[in-house]
Structure 1
């Protein structure tokens, strides 16, 4: 009962390769590696003080801080 033997894991790996294909698994692996690398870079960047407090960090979207008022009229139901 306990854990699976090496043969169980090889059969599972063979089934996964047959279902997804090697190209898709390669793409998933490279995407996962890029995400981990980006996360590590973000952690390193987060510990350092920013050069300009108002400038967004790399990969972040700047928010528009100007407020705009839109004047509208509500229509009544007939």
Structure 2
């Protein structure tokens, strides 16, 4: 008497499907899966050391020293 029979579970599933619809449940499960993947990616990113900054070589300009400017 304390447990539900197969008929009870089918009725519960039918009511849930009527309330939320098939598309809504699949959207929720897709969002849930994306959240789990994002969480796992965040955990994995914390384990790797940060990448060193990229150094770009800027073109050099010849700058005159203050002594050269005074001379002329």
Range class of TM-score, shorter chain: 0.5 to 0.7
Q: Which residue of 1 aligns with 2:69?
A: none
Equivalent residues in 2 for 1:17-56, closer than 5 Å: 17-52=17-52
Q: Which residue of 1 aligns with 2:8?
A: 8
Hey, what's the Cα distance between the residues in 2 that align with 1:48 and 1:6? 49
Task: Tell me the TM-score normalized by structure 1.
Answer: 0.55
Aligned length: 52
Deviations 1:15-74 (A, max 9, x none): 111001001111101000111011111111111111158xxxxxxxxxxxxxxxxxxxxx
Distance 1:6 1:42, change over 3 A: farther
Q: Tell me, what secondary structure is at the counterpart of 1:20?
A: helix
Q: Tell me, what secondary structure is at the counterpart of 1:39?
A: helix
**Structure 2 unmatched runs, 5+:** 54-72
> How far has the Cα of 1:5 moved from its partner?
4.1
> How far has the Cα of 1:6 moved from its partner?
4.0
Task: Tell me the TM-score normalized by structure 2.
Answer: 0.59
> How far has the Cα of 1:9 moved from its partner?
3.0
